């Protein structure tokens, strides 16, 4: 599968700040607010929730990118500048949580191709995806400390788990930014590629993820993170239950048979 293949509409009604197409089993969702550096307003965040909760059953993986020079410069501050009711602030943050949980615990694996600014809410969004690829132009920031606000899109949980509490504290207290290489070494991304190569790599990985059985992908997306958060005994029991469910699916049984009868490739070292 390549990005040169014919793209088709996904068939989900989205705001103009989001564009979605598909190439077979892989959907491509674009942040399309480049004049605002893809800043995330409420309409866009609600559109993200709509997309990931209404994803067609035959879409098996999603690639997320940003149009223009940046992936996302974060929260559109105009959304919170006039808020004076603490409850409204809580509900606004919870709306972001709901949308990003639809990404993290959705139907399909999500691969983000990052470039330019991945700042504040943009980094919170990226952290909700499953695989992250950074182009060399990428840089990360958490300027909430300088804005007089705090993380509200799940970053205090997801970003801290990716790169550690101490690094998040440094970025928020001092305004420090990380470049693509620093972020990669810190654990933000699993892949680092040259500028202009992020989408190609994301599509390659999405095609691989889409080729897995739906049951296995469900286990990886939904069970694995919860097993990690469980006490060891509960985690091991959940693992056993999920393993039994996965291997009993008809598709898994056929794949196991193909491997045993030497019709499937063995694992080899990749360059």
Tell me: pLDDT of 258 over 90: no
Q: How do beta strands 18-23 and 110-114 pair?
A: unpaired
Q: Which phi and psi angles does 75 have, rounded to 5°?
A: -60, 135
Predicted confidence (pLDDT) per residue in 120-176, tens digit:
999 999 999 999 999 999 999 999 888 888 999 999 999 999 999 999 999 999 999
Q: For position 149, what pLDDT does the model report? A: 87
Average pLDDT along the chain = 92
Predicted confidence (pLDDT) per residue in 43-60, tens digit:
999 999 999 999 999 999
Annotated catalytic sites, by residue?
A: 124, 144
What value does the mean pLDDT take over residues 21-32? Answer: 98
Q: Tell me how far CA of residue 17 lies from CA of 60, 79, 154, in angstroms.
A: 23, 15, 22
Q: How confident is the model at residue 206 (pLDDT cuts 50, 70, 90)?
A: very high
Tell me: pLDDT of 213 over 70: yes
Tell me: pLDDT of 1 over 70: no
In 164-249, alpha helices (H): 165-174, 180-186, 198-210, 214-218, 224-229, 232-247
What value does the mean pLDDT take over residues 9-26? Answer: 96
What value does the mean pLDDT take over residues 233-252? Answer: 89
Q: For position 79, what pLDDT does the model report? A: 75
Tell me: pLDDT of 257 over 70: no
Whole-angstrom Cα distance, residue 87 to residue 89? 5
Tell me: pLDDT of 194 over 90: yes
What value does the mean pLDDT take over residues 233-258? Answer: 84
């Amino acid at each position: 599968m390549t990005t040169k293949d014919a793209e088709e509409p996904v068939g989900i009604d989205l705001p103009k700040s989001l564009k979605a197409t598909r190439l077979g089993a892989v959907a491509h969702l674009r942040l399309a607010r480049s004049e605002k550096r893809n800043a995330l307003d409420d309409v866009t965040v609600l559109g993200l929730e709509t997309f990931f909760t209404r994803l067609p059953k035959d879409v098996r993986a999603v690639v997320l990118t940003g149009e223009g020079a940046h992936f996302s410069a974060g929260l559109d501050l105009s959304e919170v500048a006039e808020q004076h009711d603490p409850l409204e602030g809580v509900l606004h943050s919870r709306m972001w949580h709901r949308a990003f949980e639809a990404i993290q615990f959705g139907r399909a694996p999500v691969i983000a191709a990052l470039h330019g600014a991945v700042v504040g809410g943009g980094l919170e969004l990226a952290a909700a995806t499953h695989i992250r690829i950074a182009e060399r132009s990428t840089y990360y920031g958490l300027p909430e400390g300088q804005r007089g606000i705090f993380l509200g899109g799940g970053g205090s949980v997801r970003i801290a788990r990716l790169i550690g509490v101490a690094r998040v504290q440094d970025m928020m207290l001092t305004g420090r930014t990380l470049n693509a290489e620093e972020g990669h070494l810190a654990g933000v991304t699993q892949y680092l590629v040259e500028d202009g190569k992020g989408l190609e790599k994301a599509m390659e990985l999405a095609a691989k993820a889409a080729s897995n059985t739906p049951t296995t992908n469900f286990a990886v997306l939904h069970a694995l993170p919860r097993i990690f958060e469980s006490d060891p005994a509960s985690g091991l029991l959940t693992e056993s239950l999920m393993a039994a469910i996965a291997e009993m699916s008809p598709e898994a049984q056929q794949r196991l048979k193909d491997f045993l009868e030497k019709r499937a490739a063995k694992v080899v070292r990749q360059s």
